Amino acid sequence: MADFAATALDKSQNRQTGGAGAMESGAAAQPLVRVEGLAKYFDVSPPLLTRVLEGQKKAIVRAVDGVSFAIPQGKTFSLVGESGCGKSTVARLVVGLYRPTRGHIEFEGTDLASLRTRAQMAPLRKRLQMIFQDPYASLNPRWRVADIIAEPIRAHKLMDDDRGILRRVGELLEQVRLSPRDGEKFPHEFSGGQRQRISIARALASNPEFLVCDEPTSALDVSVQAQILNLMKDLQRELGLTYLFISHDLAVVYHISDYVGVMYLGRLVEWGEAQQVFGSPRHPYTRMLMDAIPDLEMTGRQRIPVAGEVPSPIDPPSGCYFHPRCPFANERCSAESPMAIPVGSGEVACHGVEEGRI
Amino acid sequence: MAQTPVLEVRNLRVEFPTRKGTLVAVDDISFHVNEGEVLGVVGESGAGKSMTGTAVINLLEPPGRIGGGEVYLDGRRIDNLPYEQMRRIRGRQIGMVFQDPLTSLNPLYTVGRQLIETIRTHTDLSEQGARKRALELLAEVGIPSAERRIDQYPHQFSGGMRQRVVIALALCVNPRLVIADEPTTALDVSIQAQIIALLKKLCHEHGAAVMLITHDMGVIAETADRVAVMYAGRLAEVGPVQQVIQQAKHPYTEGLMGSIPKVGHHTDRLAQIEGSMPRLTEIPNGCAYHPRCPKAFARCFAERPDLITQGATDVSCWLYDEELQRVEAHG
Ligand SMILES: Nc1ncnc2c1ncn2[C@@H]1O[C@H](COP(=O)(O)OP(=O)(O)OP(=O)(O)O)[C@@H](O)[C@H]1O
Ligand SMILES: Nc1ncnc2c1ncn2[C@@H]1O[C@H](COP(=O)(O)OP(=O)(O)O)[C@@H](O)[C@H]1O
Ligand code: SF4
Ligand code: SF4
Ligand SMILES: [Mg+2]
Ligand SMILES: [Mg+2]
């Protein structure tokens, strides 16, 4: 472990180009990935004619609305929050599947927005890869597994001799604890967990340093989920990978994460080291989420069910988006949107915390 | 046991005839649920949980069929009743809650209309009386401003609210038995907790027996009084929830519990069960769990274990049989 930390630090020192990280207090290493004021709006208005005829207004979904965080090299940063709060949208922005409405994404200090052409993007693209929730939908059923895994190698022209590629595919299959012979088969011959291993092998094919994992185990049974989570941790250690991990399962997030960010209606309400966010959550929404975790220890603790439901992101509440559900809300909360302030190793955006009354 | 269980299932078998032979989805399982009790049924996907629930209410989709066994409701056998009679029992005595609330709600009618119709079909309340009862139920399941909401359509409700409406529908005739199949799986954790609290409260207040089917151990830990663990169409273990979760006896239950990450327990690696659950076409001989079981021994490969009583828990594993023999031999 100590060994690994030292190499990780080494690597990052070689690579970093300076610039203060947002995590100075939390981590020694410079961030590999930094997201600053990230926003993505979707226009979901009815067609213009309908709008004019029926007097409807434009409808804009603020799926992500000003999110900032940083992930140190070799660490796992997780995003949690209720359905529709913008987790997947952040993931897709970070890997470049969407263009941000506002804000910046930096990879090793390079602003992704500054890379305009495909040719400029290419060297970076292969260093970030994504793993999706559904291992059934994300593998082409008509391709052999070996071709699925080799696809990024061919696309990025990392190798050109077929024997070499085949050898590399065999290595990758072994890395995800499958057999090189499995390359001959088709996806339907594998179980859900095995397919997710194949997705991981494909993601690793271009030697990425950064993996964005959007609910990678949510479609799997718990026993298979444990296999995949163990594999992901092993790979992180072996290859020094950095993860952005998304899950709605707080226990999974607790297990896998170094840092956790809690999202609500497109905004990050609290983030920090996992031990801190889980051990002493500060934001009232984080506390609510923690209270909603089922109690497997059976201590008889009475859960305080979260009141109410997430409002529509098309028409969010005024001030602090959480105020209609917050037991600590006051007048300021419904008028003024809270700014993030440093708390421990991270940040919290809440008037109550800032005023010292929570 | 003095009291007659609300639901008793004996040696239930569910099969699917196919061209390649008969697949057995539920294989010889027996359990009961008492009045006011929540029985959790857990297991990984394909374990046969939903098939068990659907067979109990006699709603298996053909070609699926009950291939053996008996089902009793309040001591009365119901698995062999004619269709019409069973339909009436389902309407009056059994409430159902499924994973997707939209399958239980008609999109063309207001929520109030659906509640009122159901109440009127199964009671002799007037339109006025039924509406009043519907409003009470909506309030009881925690729908705010029920007077306004009652005349809205299902699509105007969020997922959590729809599931509340389905629970209201399931309860509107004061059923003896509620079968809830993954009622919280499609919902966010925060809403999950609300729905669980609601189910539990209602079951205690109405004295219904609840069969709660889920793959989520957390939900079981919070809600169930007893729990049945299923594996490959069979019962691995049935017992009081605390014992099954904290002192699992069956090696599968033990593996399952170890593989669940827990907040507050920092481990680098989760306990891992190798492999995955067999398909119905490939159920191993003997104990179905033996290819994955770290404790398997010769007998497990050839002979299928039956449920063996160990205190308050019943467990189907040869380890306990041996122990029994040893105790008997020495005692
Ligand atoms: N392409 C799109 N067009 C319009 N709206 C979108 C689009 N993608 C996402 N949204 C909206 O943006 C919001 C955030 O969606 P997102 O998929 O990021 O949520 P999420 O946190 O990943 O949720 P889940 O837990 O359900 O996966 C939602 O309200 C969603 O409906
Ligand atoms: N129509 C069908 N034909 C053949 N097998 C089926 C059919 N429906 C379900 N099964 C099988 O029955 C088994 C049990 O299914 P189910 O009760 O739905 O599992 P669970 O609810 O525990 O996830 C599964 O292996 C499933 O594939
Ligand atoms: S800002 Fe106010 S409403 Fe928002 S979470 Fe803090 S106390 Fe609650
Ligand atoms: S019967 Fe044998 S294989 Fe089955 S669970 Fe018990 S020890 Fe394991
Ligand atoms: Mg998502
Ligand atoms: Mg099911």
pLDDT value for B325:
65
3-state DSSP call for residue A57?
A: coil
pLDDT value for B234:
97
Is B99 contained in some domain? no
Q: In this prediction, what percent of chain A has a pLDDT beyond 90?
A: 64
**pLDDT for A241-280, tens place per residue?**
999 999 989 999 999 999 999 999 999 999 999 999 999 9
Ligand nearest to the CA of A261: 1
Using CA coordinates, name the residue in chain A closest to B270: A226
User: Could you tell me if B167 and B206 are in contact, meaning their C-beta atoms sit under 8 angstroms apart?
Assistant: no
**pLDDT for A215-243, tens place per residue?**
999 888 899 999 999 999 999 999 999 99
Closest CA to B166 of B143, B200, B197, B132: B143
Give the span between the Cα atoms of A348 and A76, in whole angstroms. 19
Q: Do B266 and B199 reside in the same domain of the chain?
A: yes
Is the CB–ligand 3 distance for residue A284 below 6 Å? yes
Give the span between the Cα atoms of B296 and B299, in whole angstroms. 8
Give the span between the Cα atoms of B198 and B38, in whole angstroms. 13
**Which residue ranges form the domains of chain A, and what is each CATH number?**
2-127+208-355 (3.40.50.300)
Which residues of chain B lie closer than 8 angstroms to A288, CB-CB?
190
Given pLDDT bands bounded at 50, 70 and 90, which one contains residue A326?
very high
Ligand nearest to the CA of A214: 5
Local confidence pLDDT in tens for the 331 residues of chain B: 568 999 999 999 999 999 989 999 999 999 999 999 999 999 998 899 999 999 999 999 999 999 999 999 999 999 999 999 999 999 889 999 988 888 889 999 999 999 999 999 888 899 999 999 999 999 888 887 889 899 999 988 888 889 889 999 988 888 999 999 999 887 777 778 778 888 888 778 888 999 999 998 988 998 899 999 999 999 999 999 999 999 999 999 999 999 999 998 888 999 999 888 898 999 999 999 999 999 999 999 999 999 999 999 999 999 999 765 666 666 5
pLDDT value for B99:
83
A3 has a pLDDT exceeding 80: no
User: Could you tell me if A186 and A141 are in contact, meaning their C-beta atoms sit under 8 angstroms apart?
Assistant: yes
Give the span between the Cα atoms of B220 and B272, in whole angstroms. 21
Using CA coordinates, name the residue in chain A closest to B196: A305
Interface size A-B, in CB pairs within 8 Å, comes to 119
Number of structural domains chain B divides into: 2
Pocket test for ligand 1, best of A40, A60, A64, A88 (most atoms within 8 A of CB): A88
Asked if B217 lies within 8 A of A296 by C-beta distance, the reply is yes
Q: Do B224 and B159 reside in the same domain of the chain?
A: no
Give the span between the Cα atoms of B242 and B249, in whole angstroms. 12
Asked if B262 lies within 8 A of A251 by C-beta distance, the reply is yes
Give the span between the Cα atoms of B290 and B274, in whole angstroms. 11
Minimal CA separation from A291 to chain B, in Å: 8
Give the per-residue SS3 of A218-265.
CCCCHHHHHHHHHHHHHHHHHHCCEEEEECCCHHHHHHHCCEEEEEEC
Within 6 A (CB) of ligand 2 lie B 16, 23, 25, 43, 45-51, 64, 280
Given pLDDT bands bounded at 50, 70 and 90, which one contains residue A23?
very low
Tokens (6 digits) for B130: 């039924």
Which of B174, B202, B220 is where one domain is finished?
B174
A22 has a pLDDT exceeding 60: no
> Peptide bond before A338: cis, by omega within 30 degrees of 0?
no
Among A107-116, A185-194, A249-258, B10-19, which stretch is predicted with the lowest mean pLDDT? A107-116
Q: Helices B111-122 and B127-140: crossing angle, nearest 10°?
A: 120
Is B131 contained in some domain? yes
Q: Do B300 and B325 reside in the same domain of the chain?
A: yes
Computed over its alpha carbons, how large is the radius of gyration of chain B? 21
Asked if A222 lies within 8 A of B269 by C-beta distance, the reply is no
Using CA coordinates, name the residue in chain A closest to B225: A298
Q: Helices A192-204 and A145-155: crossing angle, nearest 10°?
A: 20
Q: Which domain holds residue B168?
A: 106-174
Pocket test for ligand 4, best of B234, B249, B300 (most atoms within 8 A of CB): B300
Pocket test for ligand 2, best of B280, B282, B283 (most atoms within 8 A of CB): B280
Q: Do B158 and B202 reside in the same domain of the chain?
A: no
Minimal CA separation from A184 to chain B, in Å: 20
Using CA coordinates, name the residue in chain A closest to B216: A222
Q: Do B65 and B210 reside in the same domain of the chain?
A: yes
Q: Do B226 and B296 reside in the same domain of the chain?
A: yes
In this prediction, does ipTM exceed 0.95? no
Q: Do B270 and B316 reside in the same domain of the chain?
A: yes
Q: In this prediction, what percent of chain A has a pLDDT beyond 70?
A: 89
Q: Do B141 and B179 reside in the same domain of the chain?
A: no
Is B292 contained in some domain? yes
Tokens 């990024």 belong to: A152
Is B41 contained in some domain? yes
How many residues are given for chain B? 331
Q: Do B198 and B305 reside in the same domain of the chain?
A: yes
Sign of the Cα torsion A177, A178, A179, A183 reads: negative
Q: Do B46 and B179 reside in the same domain of the chain?
A: yes
Asked if A230 lies within 8 A of B272 by C-beta distance, the reply is yes
**pLDDT for A39-54, tens place per residue?**
999 988 878 777 777 7
* Residue A333 CA: distances (Å) to CA of A139, A329, B125, B142, B265: 46, 6, 48, 26, 35
Protein residue closest via CA to atom 11 of ligand 2: B25
Sign of the Cα torsion B289, B292, B294, B297 reads: positive
User: Could you tell me if A278 and A254 are in contact, meaning their C-beta atoms sit under 8 angstroms apart?
Assistant: yes
In order, the DSSP letters of A142-192 are TS-HHHHHHHHHHHTT----HHHHHHHHHHHHHHTT--GGGGGS-GGGS-H
Give the span between the Cα atoms of B327 and B210, in whole angstroms. 37
Q: Do B192 and B143 reside in the same domain of the chain?
A: no
Q: Do B73 and B117 reside in the same domain of the chain?
A: no
Which of B118, B146, B174 is where one domain is finished?
B174
Tokens 């990280």 belong to: A21
Minimal CA separation from A110 to chain B, in Å: 33
Tell how far the Cα of A270 is from the centroid of ligand 3, in angstroms: 12
CA atoms within a 13 Å half-sphere pointing along the CA-CB vector of A58: 6
pLDDT value for B3:
83
Is B101 contained in some domain? no
Give the span between the Cα atoms of A11 and B143, in whole angstroms. 56
Tell how far the Cα of A84 is from the centroid of ligand 1, in angstroms: 5
Give the CATH number of the domain where residue B207 resides. Answer: 3.40.50.300
Is B1 contained in some domain? no
Minimal CA separation from A114 to chain B, in Å: 38
Is B248 contained in some domain? yes
Given pLDDT bands bounded at 50, 70 and 90, which one contains residue A20?
very low
Which of B156, B174, B192 is where one domain is finished?
B174
Which residues of chain A lie closer than 8 angstroms to B282, CB-CB?
none
Tell how far the Cα of B286 is from the centroid of ligand 4, in angstroms: 9
Is B100 contained in some domain? no
What lies within 8 Å, CB to CB, of A355 at 6+ separation is none
